[in-house]
């Protein structure tokens, strides 16, 4: 590796580290603001092996530091007194209806939409997060579920600046 390519690789690693700190800090601040006492994170073991999106996208996915993100969330949450449960079984959480429990791949209409025959329609990641919540805390949608989950956030990265923002809520 030439000195200039080493410098380029170092800068790229620093940018990724900065972005991860921004995102995880934002997440933990939002948890504090919402008085969250415990965070549940799905088990990411084998996530890279189970997905094949083609060479280019696979390379980007396989480079994502999942463990590092969990580590950052865990230590930042601990600093403010929030417990983190990770390695919650995620099997079929994105295919299972949060309301009726039916498991159907067809319910995931497209990347961002989940729709079940029972009438439940929601953003797909919210449906999966609710199912992970139930598994982590052993509650059912009827007993004990507040229905509260973190809203998805958007990370904007442009040369020279980065930001994290939440999409505006849409009126129902």
Give the residues across from 67 on adjacent strands: none
pLDDT score of 42 more than 90: no
Q: Measure the CA–CA gap between 148 and 150, rounded to whole angstroms.
A: 7
pLDDT score of 153 more than 60: no
What does the pLDDT average to over 49-76? 76
The token pair at 128 is: 């999966």
Q: What would the pLDDT profile of 81-93 be if each residue is shown by its tens digit? A: 999 987 888 888 8
Q: What is the DSSP letter of 107?
A: G
User: Could you tell me which residues come within 8 angstroms of residue 67 by beta carbon, excluding any fewer than 6 positions away?
Assistant: 44
pLDDT score of 51 more than 80: no
Neighbouring C-beta atoms of residue 105, cutoff 10 Å: 8
What is the residue extent of each domain of the chain? 3-90+129-165
């Amino acid at each position: 590796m030439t000195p200039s390519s080493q410098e380029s690789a170092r800068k790229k690693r620093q940018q990724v580290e900065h972005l991860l700190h921004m995102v995880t800090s934002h997440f933990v601040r939002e948890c504090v603001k919402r008085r969250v006492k415990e965070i549940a994170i799905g088990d990411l073991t084998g996530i890279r092996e189970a997905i094949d999106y083609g060479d280019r996208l696979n390379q980007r996915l396989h480079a994502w530091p999942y463990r590092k993100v969990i580590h950052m969330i865990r230590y930042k949450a601990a600093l403010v007194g929030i417990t983190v449960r990770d390695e919650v079984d995620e099997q079929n959480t994105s295919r299972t209806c949060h309301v009726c429990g039916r498991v159907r791949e067809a319910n995931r209409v497209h990347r961002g939409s989940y729709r079940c025959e029972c009438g439940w329609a929601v953003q797909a990641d919210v449906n999966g997060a609710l199912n992970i919540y139930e598994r982590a805390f052993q509650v059912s949608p009827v007993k004990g579920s507040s229905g509260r989950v973190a809203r998805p956030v958007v990370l904007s990265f442009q040369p020279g600046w980065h930001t994290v923002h939440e999409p505006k809520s849409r009126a129902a």
